[in-house]
Amino acid sequence: MDYCLTTNGLKKSYGNFTALNGLTMKVPKGSIYGFVGRNGTGKTTLIRLICGLQQPTAGEYTLYGRKYTAKDIVKSRRRMGAVVETPSIYLDLTAEENLRDQYRVLGLPSFQNIPELLQLVGLGDAGKKKAKNFSLGMRQRLAIAVALAGDPDFLVLDEPINGLDPQGIIEMRELLLKLNKERQITILISSHILDELSRLATHYGFVDHGQMVKEISAAELQAACRKCTQLKVSDTGVLARVLDQRGMEYSIRTQNEAEMYGILNVTDLVMELAKNNCEVFSMSERDESLESYFIGLTGGGEVE
């Protein structure tokens, strides 16, 4: 398999704080790679390193087969586009002016592709509008347009849907899928919104305390996720006692809701709960969520 990015024992320290602690990962070409971890686990640090904004303390990484120390690493970085932390756009300029400025930075000889690029990111009718009048979703899409100005085939995005409203999230999802499928752009997404990430990613890297905990494809993840039975009952305390007696694995979500893993004899459970004055309001089966899988890997604590 070919990879856009590989890291080997990558480490980055700031004084006594270690942001990355021997991170090893591989991002396959053509993938949408979901980089998952809590805040402070090194996700943005990795992005800064591979963009050349900072240097690693130890370890190494390669972009398109070139080590970051290679004299011609700039050739690989020219194949990248990135949006790090917040959209890097000029609010007092229009969308077209922002792109013209980026074209000049890149030394591109012509502006003729700008209308097509704005159309691609869903801003075809907003080119003359100043960015300060854009919604957050429009600013994010303009930032992606700026990142795409050099026609990259590797796009790196740091929390691209953070703060977006539901409509903005849908538009961002459709754009990223379009870039991946129609333009064959590999996308690395750092995100903590796991439900939305599960609608996009073809591969995942789960990181904790600056180390890679697990790399897995979406197909492998689907096979690994356990079946889960969601129950809504009148008293989860009673439910917990009954499940404990049967040696069942479960998690209590709210005062009235719980999730249980494993094979369940529904009739037996309902009758036992009834004997203990616990009523079952609803029961449904689903696959284990991406969030539950992450928590299981890292030993507790939700993604922030």
Q: What is the pLDDT of residues 86-105, one digit of tens each?
A: 777 999 999 999 999 999 99
Q: How far apart are CA 135 and CA 127, in angstroms?
A: 14
pLDDT at site 303: 54
pLDDT at site 198: 87
Strands 186-191 and 227-233: unpaired
301: pLDDT strictly greater than 70:
no
CB 195 within 8 A of CB 289: yes
Q: What is the pTM of this model?
A: 0.80
More confident residue, 19 or 38: 19
304: pLDDT strictly greater than 60:
no
* Nearest one of 74, 28, 67, 61 to 215, comparing CA atoms: 28
pLDDT at site 244: 92
User: What residues are paired with 100 via a beta bridge?
Assistant: none
Percent of the chain's residues with pLDDT above 70: 97
Most confident of 28-32, 196-200, 248-252, 285-289: 28-32
More confident residue, 225 or 283: 283
Confidence bin at 265 (pLDDT 50/70/90): confident
295: pLDDT strictly greater than 90:
no
10: pLDDT strictly greater than 90:
yes
Strands 186-191 and 154-158: parallel
179: pLDDT strictly greater than 80:
yes
pLDDT at site 216: 93
27: pLDDT strictly greater than 80:
yes
* Burial environment of residue 288 by CB neighbours within 10 A (0 to 12, 13 to 18, 19 or more): middle
What residues have CB less than 8 Å from 266, skipping those under 6 apart? 283
CB 156 within 8 A of CB 82: yes
105-159 pLDDT tens trace: 999 888 999 999 999 999 999 989 999 999 988 999 999 999 999 999 999 999 8
Domains delineated in the chain: 3-223 (3.40.50.300), 226-287 (3.30.70.100)
Mean pLDDT of 41-53: 92
What residues have CB less than 8 Å from 154, skipping those under 6 apart? 4, 5, 63, 64, 79, 80, 81, 185, 186, 187, 188
Q: Mean pLDDT lowest for which of 49-63, 133-147, 253-267?
A: 253-267
